[in-house]
Structure 1
Amino acid sequence: MTLVPSIGRELSKPPSDGISNLRFSNSSDHLLVSSWDKSVRLYDANADSMRGEFKHGGAVLDCCFHDDSSGFSASADHKVRRIDFSAGKEDILGMHDEPVRCVEYSYAAGQVITGSWDRTIKCWDPRAASGPERSQIGTYKQPERVNSLSLVGNHLVVATAGRHVNIYDLRNMSQPEQRRESSLKYQTRCVRCYPNGTGYALSSVEGRVSMEFFDLSEAAQAKKYAFKCHRKSEDGRDIVYPVNAIAFHPIYGTFATGGCDGFVNVWDGNNKKRLYQYSKYPTSIAALSFSRDGGLLAIASSYTFEEGDKPHEPDTIFVRNVNEIEVKPKPKVYPNPPA
């Protein structure tokens, strides 16, 4: 493990309150950012320019791209919005009964999927005319409040409070393909699917990450494991930090984690090794996203109120150039056989 001194360059005009998520576009270095200041912003990460901003009626808890200049937002005002920065307009795609915590767009199904604290996920057709009566495809009850969603291909992973994990096939949403309990003992913070479609990583408030696989065969399940991270020893006691964010590198399948300790670590999950740790950021890491080619990593340094309301560093977005050596798995070195 090597400590990398650079924390990257700050983007101008960051949100004025906590950053809930950020995501790179699949086709450019545009960056979509949602915030508790009720805004969704579109940045050009390379040019360090803000290309547009929409204000909502409540805190924006998540966002995702549709195409390079439009996307969807999940808001605490219970609304799911479609936002078009090139046209400068937005409309209401649908509603939940409680704050909308998560939003994803499935390119495979052409659907928007949202998860809410009303204990449901809903699917929407963004091609339909505006309004929930026209665009809503289905509502699916969950065992608890939805904390995090992730998609890969036709797999949808739903992580809820109470350590529940439901795995769906988007082609048949009538019931989950699998119902699981998190391998971790405490509340789930983030779930992210592996880019190769074989499983998902799950993080929790207890400074741990678990590596899980969709295949239920004994051989596949034998490969799953959990590991400790984002913690330190001080005065003889272990201080544990929530792991708020996971982001997979699109080329190598290695992944970064961000925690309330202000650190970003890069991991080789297959070889169970930490590859890099970047210098400490000013405050908690709230969100992470690699660019489409893996050459950039966006980092939200934003206090997540894990210690309550207290003075904290300003909310900031950093963009750092990623060197291949930081994210490329290192080959295993086997000892020479005895003569």
Structure 2
Amino acid sequence: MINSEQPKDYRIPDTPDDGISALAFSPVADYLAVSSWDTSVRIYEINAAAGAAYGKALYRHEGAVLCCAWSKDGSKLVSGGTDKAGRLFDLTTQQSMQIAQHEAPIKTIKWVDNQPNNLVCTGSWDKTVKYWDTRTPTPVLSVDVPERVYTMDLISPLLVIGTAERHVVIYNIANPNTPYKTQPSPLKYQTRVVSCFINATGYAIGSIEGRVGIQYLEEKDGQSSFSFKCHRDGNNVYAVNAISFHPLHGTFSTAGSDGTFNFWDKDSKQRLKGFSNVGSPISATTFNRNGTFFAYAASYDWSKGYQSFQQTQNIVYLHAVKEEDVKPRPAKKR
């Protein structure tokens, strides 16, 4: 068993007043976006040399913000929330505007990365996924999915959607009208998160039961789908809230309601590094563009409902990633 280490990480100042729903690093600069139940989206500038962060911008929704995502050129940020609206923030002008609308809260939002810098995809609890040209107020396309959208990830050409009742809907983004594949989750309990492999050949899926499934679109070359247990402590089982892939190595992190995060290698099927409890659930994670920083949010994740809500601190930590903790390793000899 690889030892667990207590992370000694930098705490970003002036974080939100309520639960943190999502984190996203810019693909071109060390800017970190943080969306929150306090209706805000905050952007921080990370000074890598100093290992410090500074507030750069802030804008608001009319309800809790559940998701955020950067454009591929890093000039714009989109977000969605319980006000049923998608908003776009322009980093240059520091202005925000509404660009999307649903009949229910927008749970997840992504830029369509193989298009010019103006196509956004939203997934909602109204059981639809919609595509929006940010320059026009009506959707380019609306697609019905089997249930409420809980999670979604897009790395062109792969779009993976996880809904209520354990449905997983997979699209080739070149053909967004028709699912490539619709299948039940390989995990027995409610889906919490999906995350695409960096080469778009499959995805990882996490559930409320402390399990992760590694799913290949096509099983070949000795690659077969599998699942494994994590974020468990004796008889206690915790939700897997976040899965983030390292942008260079393709290894990945998991983080959960137990307040821990781990780094894993799916190809050699082993844990690379474990970190001990940070004191509250981890609700969101992300790597920066070259994988040298890993951001995670220590915040209540609603995994035990409103009855268990405690006014905990909502903290974003910045972890300096050691190469040996995320580099792939050869498979262990049996």
**TM exceeding 0.5:** yes
Count of residue pairs brought into register by the alignment: 324
Work out which of the residue numbers 103, 106, 111 in structure 1 matches 2:109: 103
Secondary structure in 2 matching 1:91:
strand
Alignment partner, residue 159 of structure 1: 162
RMSD of Structure 2 on Structure 1 (CA): 1.6
Secondary structure in 2 matching 1:325:
helix
Q: C-alpha offsets along residues 145-176 of structure 1, whole Å, 9 cap, x if unaligned?
A: 00111111211111100110111111111210
Secondary structure in 1 matching 2:324:
helix
Alignment partner, residue 313 of structure 1: 312
Unaligned segments of structure 2, at least 5 residues: none
TM-score, length basis structure 1:
0.92
> Percent identical across equivalent pairs?
38
Deviation at 1:107, TM superposition (A): 1.7
Deviation at 1:331, TM superposition (A): 2.4
Residue 185 of structure 2 is aligned to residue 178 of structure 1: no
Q: Amino acid of the residue matched to residue 162 of structure 1?
A: E
TM-score, length basis structure 2:
0.93
Tell whether the 8 Å contact from 1:109 to 1:170 is kept in structure 2 after alignment.
no
Alignment partner, residue 227 of structure 1: 228
Any residues of structure 2 matched to 1:1-339 within 5 Å, and which? 1-46=2-47, 47-66=52-71, 67-110=73-116, 111-126=119-134, 128-129=135-136, 131-132=137-138, 136-215=139-218, 219=220, 223-233=224-234, 238-307=235-304, 308=306, 309-332=308-331, 334=333
Q: C-alpha offsets along residues 189-213 of structure 1, whole Å, 9 cap, x if unaligned?
A: 0000000111000000000000001
Deviation at 1:48, TM superposition (A): 1.0
Q: 1:138 to 1:225 in 2, by over 3 A?
A: same
**Separation in structure 2 between the aligned mates of residue 200 and residue 221 of structure 1, nearest angstrom:** 17
Tell whether the 8 Å contact from 2:84 to 2:103 is kept in structure 1 after alignment.
yes
Tell whether the 8 Å contact from 2:106 to 2:123 is kept in structure 1 after alignment.
yes
Q: C-alpha offsets along residues 72-94 of structure 1, whole Å, 9 cap, x if unaligned?
A: 01111010111113312111112
Q: C-alpha offsets along residues 184-235 of structure 1, whole Å, 9 cap, x if unaligned?
A: 00110000000011100000000000000111x5x479610000000011xx
Q: 1:240 to 1:73 in 2, by over 3 A?
A: same
Tell whether the 8 Å contact from 1:188 to 1:205 is kept in structure 2 after alignment.
yes
Tell whether the 8 Å contact from 2:268 to 2:332 is kept in structure 1 after alignment.
no
Q: Amino acid of the residue matched to residue 276 of structure 1?
A: K
**Separation in structure 2 between the aligned mates of residue 222 and residue 64 of structure 1, nearest angstrom:** 30
Structure label with greater radius of gyration: 1
**Separation in structure 2 between the aligned mates of residue 274 and residue 120 of structure 1, nearest angstrom:** 36
Tell whether the 8 Å contact from 1:2 to 1:275 is kept in structure 2 after alignment.
no
Tell whether the 8 Å contact from 1:45 to 1:319 is kept in structure 2 after alignment.
no
Q: 1:220 to 1:313 in 2, by over 3 A?
A: farther
Deviation at 1:277, TM superposition (A): 0.9
- Runs of 4+ aligned residues of structure 1 deviating over 6 Å after TM superposition are none
Secondary structure in 1 matching 2:233:
strand
**Separation in structure 2 between the aligned mates of residue 120 and residue 18 of structure 1, nearest angstrom:** 25
Unaligned segments of structure 1, at least 5 residues: none
Q: 1:101 to 1:156 in 2, by over 3 A?
A: same
